Structure 1
Amino acid sequence: MAFLNSVLEPPSYGWTDEDGNLAKPTNGKIVKEFFSRLNVFKDKKNWLSFLSWLLVLALVPFLALFIFKYFSITGLIVAFVYSMIIMGTHGTIWHHRYCTHGAYTFSNKFWRFFTQNLTLKIIPEEIYAISHHVHHALSDQPGDPYNAQGGFMYCFLADVNHQPVARKMSEADYNRCINLMKHTGIKPNTYTQYQKWGTIANPYRTVAGIILNWGFWFAAFYLLGGPALACAVFGSAGIWAVGVRTFNYEGHGKGQDKRRDGIDHNRDDMSINQLWPGYVAGEWHNNHHLFPKSARSGFKAHQLDLAWCYIKFLSMIGAVSSYRDSKKQFLLEYCTVKPVAVPVVKYSQETKSLFEVE
């Protein structure tokens, strides 16, 4: 816990106020912090956050071309399916259940690479995975990088303001940080390189990987459906990249207790199960907080889990060698009707005589 308390770079307004409660900066302070930590001219260690939002901006022209030049109902359907379902489900499969929680293992590096690049690469693994460990350790407490009690903007801009790794870690702590990422296949910086760049990821390898990923998918969609399809897909990916930044605010009740009896069984934090993210991305969030290392979080009959469907399919064809599935434990602990013990009443001879009929 001590390590996770210090693994992220704290914002200028801090995690707590003078009384030890969650620091709740104004939206103005949050936005000011955001632009300060995007400034690569001020500090090149801001490069990863800058790159993350640069990728979002790079997708805007594709969206504009689709809307104003190539728009069609078919293209709109494709855009909806790709952004809401494919991108959302892939985020759960790769960033959430694999990179962060290691809920399953691949049989070889090919299937790991295949799954990693199954969609457009937009969110750097490092920004997501390390901070998400902290989120689970400090859920809805000060230090949680996307604490919904801090407000919408606190969560929406968290990837820049709260999620980057600390920049002054000791070599021992940096190596511990690397251990949280080693299964992902991301080749880390040396400690000397980390001191220069402030990240686990190397900027040259990261940028090269994104260029190759985007180049491959643009060529594939262009060959399948010309510029109209390519623009529809790339533009919709930009919408997902913005929308996904709102999830934890919604998924933790917008800072309020919106948990429901019989639906949200985890009571250690404010996470809730929601139908929309559940169906389109397999993100049954309250279930996930109960069993974070499970490769499945759609435990009940109505809880479709597309991310689990993909993982299970890879297991069936031998691409996934092992996984954790907590469904049985969930059903046993939270959905099994426990027998009620009926007390045995013993009557004395005098009491029994009151019921005897002469």
Structure 2
Amino acid sequence: MLTEAPFLNFTINYKLDYLMSFLDTVLQPPSYGWQDSNGDLVKPSPKQIFGEFFSRLNVFKDKKNWLSFLCWFTVLALVPFFFLFLFKYLSVKTLLAAFFYSMIVMGTHGTIWHHRYCTHNAYQFRNKFWRFFTQNLTLKIIPEEIYAVSHHVHHAKSDTPGDPYNAQGGFLYCFLADVNHQPINKNLSEKDYAKCVNLMKHIGVSVNTYEQYQKWGSLAKPLNTIVGIILNWSFWFGAFYLIGGIPLAVALFAAAGFWAVGVRTFNYEGHGKGEDKRREGVDYNRDDMSINQIWPGIVAGEWHNNHHLYPKSARSGFKPYQVDSAWYYIKFMHTIGAVSTYHDSKKQFYKDYLKAHATEKEATVAELRVPKATTLVAERI
């Protein structure tokens, strides 16, 4: 056993070094770069950010930009629904429906699917049917590739140069990150492309061969992706129409567009807008600037600091007041047999932080009491 330990440590360190090397290059670097010659974060001007944004949307210049273009084309396609809702179908009922759909349904689904499953694989489905069912619970807007691969990099480099939505880069740096910082590198080696595919294999997305990737610059196949969105939108528009007619269908499509824009602000807010806003007794992770926020936590189960403590946990609402709608869905699916296994770090959180903190507090109190007792004995003597 003594001879195996050094070899085991070497193997673990080698794998970690290889992973970090891969994550250093898996995303397409912006023209302004991740860091300067001193290793500090490059904070581009708004002009540089917008220049990069429109350059990467240009599918006529390079068809490898198709996925970035699609990200914002879907948002623009929802704009007419927003104006129709606002000027023709706005009522108390449709407003309440739109609020519930955008804030709770879309937000919770993003946490369930893109965050906890696609990126962190925090739970496993019983079969492909339940995976497909969960994937399409809401309007399909964000491509899994754009979210999942870059989010691995975010956790590895959180709040440091290379973090695709580093809040210290400013609001626009985060808001336009899906185009400027999150797409995969267009020049990956065949070995690194295979590694990238491996990050996505559990999701069930049909991916390009390496030769196809060299043509399209993405994991996702353009035709499959576009047809998938069309079918998804068609199904949900029909379902909403049958439930509440054109007013409800328009309202919920408008709500999805509102969410699609709003969700792009989350990581800027969730990492303190580039400042240290962590609170004692609330935000226990001190390795980055992530914070627990009441609103995203209540409506979407996104207790961000908790998540950064235990990224592979299917639950991030650990304390009694931390409502976690995403966890409730996962737990329900497990109860009915749709989810086979999941990882829950709640007990570990209490052991590592709350109980440990209580023990430290008791020890401190005991230390403070010792001098008082000694003084009292001395006085009596």
Question: If the length of structure 2 is used for normalisation, what is the TM-score?
Answer: 0.90
Identity of aligned residues (%): 71
Corresponding residue of 2:247: 228
Amino acid at match of 2:154: H
User: Alpha-carbon deviation of 1:71?
Assistant: 1.1
Matches within 5 A, 1:228-307: 228-307=247-326
Corresponding residue of 1:134: 153
Distance in 1 (CA, whole Å) between partners of 2:269 and 2:126 is 35
Distance in 2 (CA, whole Å) between partners of 1:15 and 1:66 is 40
From 357, 363, 366, the equivalent of 1:340 is 363
Matches within 5 A, 1:1-358: 1-336=20-355, 337-338=358-359, 339-340=362-363, 342=366, 355=380
SS in structure 1 of the partner of residue 263 of structure 2: helix
Deviation string, structure 1 residues 140-190 (Cα, Å, up to 9, x no partner): 000000000000000000000000000100101000000000000001100
Deviation string, structure 1 residues 49-96 (Cα, Å, up to 9, x no partner): 100100000001111111111111100000000000000000000000
Distance in 1 (CA, whole Å) between partners of 2:79 and 2:239 is 20
Deviation string, structure 1 residues 329-357 (Cα, Å, up to 9, x no partner): 10111112114285798xxxxxx99955x
The structure 1 segments of at least 4 consecutive aligned residues displaced by more than 4 Å after TM superposition are 341-345, 352-356
User: Alpha-carbon deviation of 1:18?
Assistant: 2.4
Distance in 2 (CA, whole Å) between partners of 1:200 and 1:9 is 13
Amino acid at match of 2:172: M
Change (3 A) 1:353 1:51: closer
Question: If the length of structure 1 is used for normalisation, what is the TM-score?
Answer: 0.96
Amino acid at match of 2:363: V
Amino acid at match of 1:201: A
Structure 1 portions without partners, runs of 5+: 346-351
- Aligned residue pairs: how many? 351
Deviation string, structure 1 residues 192-229 (Cα, Å, up to 9, x no partner): 00000000000000001001000000011011111100
Amino acid at match of 1:166: N
Distance in 2 (CA, whole Å) between partners of 1:290 and 1:355 is 51
Corresponding residue of 2:15: none
SS in structure 1 of the partner of residue 229 of structure 2: helix
Amino acid at match of 2:284: H
Deviation string, structure 1 residues 233-277 (Cα, Å, up to 9, x no partner): 000100000000000000000000000000000000000000000
